Structure 1
Amino acid sequence: MNEIVTIDQAKTIAQEMETTLAGFVPPDQVASIDQNPTGALMSCSTEGDYLWSGQTKVMLEPGAAYDGAAVTSEIAATYDDSESYRTETDTTRDGQPRAHVIGENGEGYLVALSVDKAFVQILSFSPCFVLPDGVSPSKPY
Structure 2
Amino acid sequence: MTRRPSRWGLVACVAVVVSVLTGCAQKDDGVDKTLTIDQAKHQTQAVTQQIIDLVPSDFVALSKVRPKGILLACSPTSLTWSGGATLTVQSDPDFTKILTDIQTAFTADPAYTTIMDTDYYGDPVLTIHDKAGSQWIVSPMTRGATLDVMSSSPCFLTPDGMQPSDSY
Which position in structure 2 is the counterpart of 1:106?
133
What are the within-5 Å matches in structure 2 for residues 80-91 of structure 1? 80-91=107-118
| Displaced runs of 4 or more, over 6 A | none
**Partner Cα separation in structure 1 for residue 129 and residue 112 of structure 2:** 5
Q: By percentage of residues, which structure has more strand?
A: 1
**Partner Cα separation in structure 2 for residue 50 and residue 139 of structure 1:** 10
1:6-41, CA deviations, whole angstroms, 9 ceiling, x for partnerless residues?
000000011111111111221011111111111110
Tell me whether 1:48 sits opposite 2:39 in the alignment.
no
> How much does 1:136 deviate?
3.1
Could you tell me which amino acid in structure 1 is paired with residue 162 of structure 2? V
Which position in structure 2 is the counterpart of 1:8?
38
Q: By percentage of residues, which structure has more helix?
A: 2
Q: Give the structure-2-normalised TM-score.
A: 0.76
> How much does 1:47 deviate?
5.1
Question: Gapped runs of 5+ residues in structure 1?
Answer: none
The alignment-based identity, stated in percent, is: 30
> How much does 1:132 deviate?
1.1
**Partner Cα separation in structure 1 for residue 142 and residue 66 of structure 2:** 19
Which position in structure 2 is the counterpart of 1:65?
92
Q: Indicate if the aligned counterparts of 1:94 and 1:115 stay in contact, CA closer than 8 A.
A: no
2:157 maps to which of 119, 130, 140: 130
Distance 1:140 1:47, change over 3 A: closer
**Partner Cα separation in structure 2 for residue 86 and residue 60 of structure 1:** 26
Q: Indicate if the aligned counterparts of 1:58 and 1:121 stay in contact, CA closer than 8 A.
A: yes
CA RMSD of aligned residues (A): 1.6
